[in-house]
Structure 1
Amino acid sequence: MEELLLEQSEGVLWLKLNRPQALNALTASLVDALTAAIEGAQRDPEVRVIVLTGEGRAFCAGADLKDSAKRGPDAGFAFVKAIGALTELMEACTKPVVAAINGIAVAGGLELVLACDLVFAAESSVLGDAHSNYALFPGGGATVRLPRKIGVNNAKHVMFSGESLPASEWKALGLVSRVVPNAGFIDAVAMSAKKLATKSPLVLARMKQALNDSIDQPAPIALRYERVLSNLHNFSADRAEGLAAFKEKRAPQFQGK
């Protein structure tokens, strides 16, 4: 059985973790498959949006602990390094990466969510860190990204307690973009992703870059950078197409140039 299912339609690439019997827990081969899929999507001009979700009742329960128990410290280090590289790739990808949380998302699963740009969660889904429950230390970016998303004190509570919280609480904390009723969840995510895929790939890539880079920059430097990108964008074909479409009262056809 394939650990990762790929489906592409109307500019949207769906990546579906397909280990439902193991709550889509991450193995080395699944991490490699995700990495290859995102690298391929980055190079493919037909892919404009990437959606990550899971088959069955879980989004991702983190690393497969049964698999981890078989590995020694050196192999464990390589596995954690691969997960870290995957989350960095997701964050740096110029295409929007959307998490569609269909169920349980804990530990490494939460770290995948933290690397996504938009987070949609089914009403019944739960998210948590859970590393502390088994004396494990995160390696996919939780200690760095979680406090930036929800604040240091909230991140400490989530990580120290190991508790899972419902999607509604994560929306209040600011991590989840939208909570969607279970009925029609995938359809709702698909509709939003398709709308996103009609936007200019160039402007979305530049917005993502500026937003990510601004977090660790003093405001005056970030503002100067924004103005440089804005001036550069004035010469883009997509901007000209957007203005022409507005003037002619038609749908724009963006090429990402």
Structure 2
Amino acid sequence: MPVVLVEKQTPQIRAIVLNRPERRNALTLELLNELNAAIKVASEQPQERVLILRGAGAAFCTGLDLKEAADQTKTHATAAMVAKTLITLSQTRLITIAAVHGAAVAGGAGIMSAC
């Protein structure tokens, strides 16, 4: 099951959905890679104007997945990817909207703030 879903709302509007509802959309290296790629693809589409980010399930995003963060081989890569994703999001030419519902904690609050 994909951890990031891309939904075309209209020719000008794209929604990106964090799709790990069973973990309250906690951030993993896989999710961050997919999210960063989806933001870049949307930014490269000249007809697109608006990017909406939302979370599946009960929370927007609860920050880093602590199970993955316990693996020290992934900790630095995950932190670097969080920073890269926030920069990509804050520098996109698109109007960005964080459609927050439920918890937006730590990295989730960062994503919300970068919009």
TM tier relative to shorter chain: over 0.9
**Does residue 24 of the first structure (1) align with residue 25 of the second (2)?**
yes
Determine what percentage of the aligned residue pairs are the same residue: 37
Aligned length: 114
| Structure 2 unmatched runs, 5+ | none
Alignment of 1:126-205 (within 5 A): none
Determine the structure 2 residue equivalent to 1:9: 9
Determine the structure 2 residue equivalent to 1:33: 34
Determine the structure 2 residue equivalent to 1:238: none
Q: Find the aligned partners of 2:72 and 2:57 in 1 and give their Cα distance.
A: 27
Determine the structure 2 residue equivalent to 1:105: 104
Determine the structure 2 residue equivalent to 1:199: none
Q: Find the aligned partners of 2:24 and 2:57 in 1 and give their Cα distance.
A: 7
Q: Find the aligned partners of 1:36 and 1:71 in 2 and give their Cα distance.
A: 24
Q: Which has the larger radius of gyration?
A: 1
| Structure 1 unmatched runs, 5+ | 117-257
User: Could you list the per-position Cα deviations for residues 82-124 of structure 1 after superposition, in whole angstroms to 9, with x for gaps in the alignment?
Assistant: 11011011111011111000211101100101101xxxxxxxx
Q: Find the aligned partners of 1:71 and 1:100 in 2 and give their Cα distance.
A: 32
Q: CA deviation at 1:59?
A: 0.1
Q: Find the aligned partners of 1:80 and 1:89 in 2 and give their Cα distance.
A: 14
Determine the structure 1 residue equivalent to 2:83: 84
Q: Find the aligned partners of 1:77 and 1:49 in 2 and give their Cα distance.
A: 31
Q: CA deviation at 1:78?
A: 1.7
User: Could you list the per-position Cα deviations for residues 53-96 of structure 1 after superposition, in whole angstroms to 9, with x for gaps in the alignment?
Assistant: 00100000001001111233xx3112111110110111110111
Alignment of 1:43-82 (within 5 A): 43-72=44-73, 75-82=74-81
Q: Find the aligned partners of 1:44 and 1:35 in 2 and give their Cα distance.
A: 15
Moved over 6 A (4+): none
SS at match of 2:104: strand
Q: Find the aligned partners of 2:71 and 2:95 in 1 and give their Cα distance.
A: 35
Q: CA deviation at 1:25?
A: 0.2
Query: So what's the TM-score if we normalise by structure 1?
Result: 0.43
Q: Find the aligned partners of 1:112 and 1:41 in 2 and give their Cα distance.
A: 16
User: Could you list the per-position Cα deviations for residues 212-233 of structure 1 after superposition, in whole angstroms to 9, with x for gaps in the alignment?
Assistant: xxxxxxxxxxxxxxxxxxxxxx
Determine the structure 2 residue equivalent to 1:139: none
SS at match of 2:60: strand
Query: So what's the TM-score if we normalise by structure 2?
Result: 0.95
Provide the aligned C-alpha RMSD in A.
Answer: 0.9
